[in-house]
Amino acid sequence: MHTPQLPQLSTSLATYSAQDPGGWQHIIDRARMLDEVGFDRLVVSDHVVFGERLEEYSKPSVGGQRGGKQPTGPDGHWLEPLTLLSMLAGVTTEIRLGTNIVIAALRRPVVLAKTAATLDVLSGGRFDLGVGVGWQREEYEAAGLNFDARGRLLDHSLEVCQTLWREMRASYQSPELKFDAIHMMPKPLGNNGVPVWVSGTVNPKVISRVARFAYGWIPWGDDAADIATGISKMKAGIAEHGRDAEGLEVVATLRPIKGTSDAMDIPATMAQVPALVAAGATDLRMHLAFPADRSEAFDHCSALVAGFRSAAQRG
């Protein structure tokens, strides 16, 4: 399994648009640039379809973000993440490529296992599968799935994927599915399969999911806002399941701090790094605003990487 050089600097790419952007070349250009300047990981998000009750996203009770708002309306343009990452794998060489998150249960598990393994192999082992249950009932209904069973559907998907990734002659049995003497090649390059990152708050079901399946945890909601407390609770929880808590990778948000000119103050922003790492964060994720000018964007991102490396060494 992939072993990171800690800590890592990552960012999410907005692979969606409220209106037709007239093309997506900017996504490819940004991925190439992030790879060139030395970002460690880029991640992209997922929605397959939308219903019209987008206000549900603001409700933690269904998996949303308290006070959150979807960045597009129901007719926003969203690229399918695994397809997109397959393309980005062909135009990058070093940066890791991940989903933050893919709603795994919307894909048949056997097909997801094959797709993820293929992407991992073609990228040279650079793929991270970030998964979560999502928040939108209509998305599950359009796929013919029970939204209220979404936690179990995700666990089932991960069970099937890891079985097919790890066993040469795979067998599996659950209430949802049974198969025996099944072969799937090629396998992912890592011995344990594609690294899985599980998203969610600290609750018994997510703790169990992280303990069983996860290489890394993507905190959500209040546990992302208070990352030190969230990490402490998650590590204590998975330790109770017999999991080595110290080996868990964790995402934390590296929030931009503005200077007097309203531009990002890079030293002040990066001054947050040592404390986040001390709390247990290993993947520090920035949400970037890319300057329109390519040269300016390159210089800005290069300065972020340099500032991050310096702060990480001081930490």
Q: What is the CA radius of gyration of the chain?
A: 19
Please tell me the predicted confidence (pLDDT) of residue 1.
44
CA atoms of 56 and 66, how far apart (whole Å): 10
Q: Which of 101-105, 201-205, 253-257, 259-263 is least confident?
A: 259-263
Residue 30, helix vs strand vs coil:
helix
* Ordered domains of the chain (ranges, CATH): 8-314 (3.20.20.30)
Please tell me the predicted confidence (pLDDT) of residue 5.
56
Q: How confident is the model at residue 315 (pLDDT cuts 50, 70, 90)?
A: low
Query: What are the helix (H) ranges across 136-226?
Result: 137-142, 150-166, 204-213, 222-225
Tell me the CA distances in angstroms from 166 to 19, 174, 181, 194, one per residue in order.
42, 18, 13, 10
Nearest to 284 by CA among 1, 5, 2: 5
For the chain, give the percent of residues with pLDDT over 90: 90
What predicted TM-score, i.e. pTM, was given to this entire model? Answer: 0.95
Positive or negative torsion for Cα 185, 187, 193, 196: negative
pLDDT for 2 beyond 70: no
Segment 38-88, tens digit of pLDDT: 999 999 999 999 999 999 999 888 888 888 899 999 999 999 999 999 999
pLDDT for 3 beyond 80: no
Stretch 289-315: mean pLDDT: 91
Cβ pair 4, 249 in contact under 8 A:
yes
